[in-house]
Structure 1
């Protein structure tokens, strides 16, 4: 937790099983110290769920570069720092499960969230590659990719860039208005998402990637079909770039 009140609220949920610690994952230097203290207190970390993150809404041309840096610091670099701090003990124990919460926006894209999608695409790639590096140590890596869930993602947890370029009004204004109206009324149930997480933790061979929600499955399958069609359409040009040895 990032503040004492949140830590106390978490502890009050179950004083026998909930042990909060204070940490902001943007403070990279503190992460190894916190993880070391947890290991000294509890002996091992069997499951790491990287759920820290926030949304960013803004047309790329309008959004300051610093907002992209901030987005990656939390959504990517902080997550990787957590993984690096926990991996040595998991590798030593030859056991562990790392779950990185990404988004359907780590595979599909929408206008107005390019910084956010970029961070989630990055985390998807890092997670998939990491899973191949640690599989022989009995460490599983899963990306959890939700669709629209009834959380604060589109409210308190979203950074919105200021609108300054009128040329983008037609595309961006309706998107921002619709997202603000839908906040708090999304179709996904966070409690059921938590149950899904518990299920894959208890599975011997968990998935590399798990999409959550009807909308996520719909959008992802639509993109897969679109990609297949585009690959087929441009296949001849794609294959034309191979070296052709002389005499062949």
Structure 2
């Protein structure tokens, strides 16, 4: 199979992952038919930086949504594990993830090989001073609008909200990976959120084979060499296992 041969022969495999790779771990996506924002469109308001900073009730809604979030109990699924195993087999795999759940690292991929484009839910930072805390510790305080223990400032999960720019260093490293990749896999992402989605363009312009694995059409399908509409938890392990062989 041509795709398998390309993956097997690649010196560097870049992987952009979105919410779709984690749905099999019990974490709902955002824009799918049963997505968080599809079911409750108003919930997106809590993910806008301006609203979050200005409105205590928005912050309370945000923190409520994460207090019992499925990601705290989630375990990596077969797709997460397959990518980690592919890297362990000798292939150079670098994951650029839009997810904040930490499941790639939990699956065994070294933290240095995962770039979290939209941050992580596992740490919380103060918006007024340099304090950074464990989110678990913050949630255990049981406060509906937690404040910084040092300065009293508003606390926010270490995630990128709408209206907030991505970390420039992280994005720059991600673009470098995309440009250096010989194969670039976009897995479980709607590819509607920029600038993360444009990493596909960076990869293609540098000569990479672009492979999109997603249930629904994306704006980048026409640029892809291969578009796979198959189940992520099935096809990703199959691709990785065949490439390892």
Higher strand share: 2
**TM-score, normalised via structure 1 length:** 0.31
| Higher normalized contact order (CA 8 Å, seq sep 6+, divided by chain length) | 2
Larger Rg: 1
Q: Which has the higher helix share?
A: 1
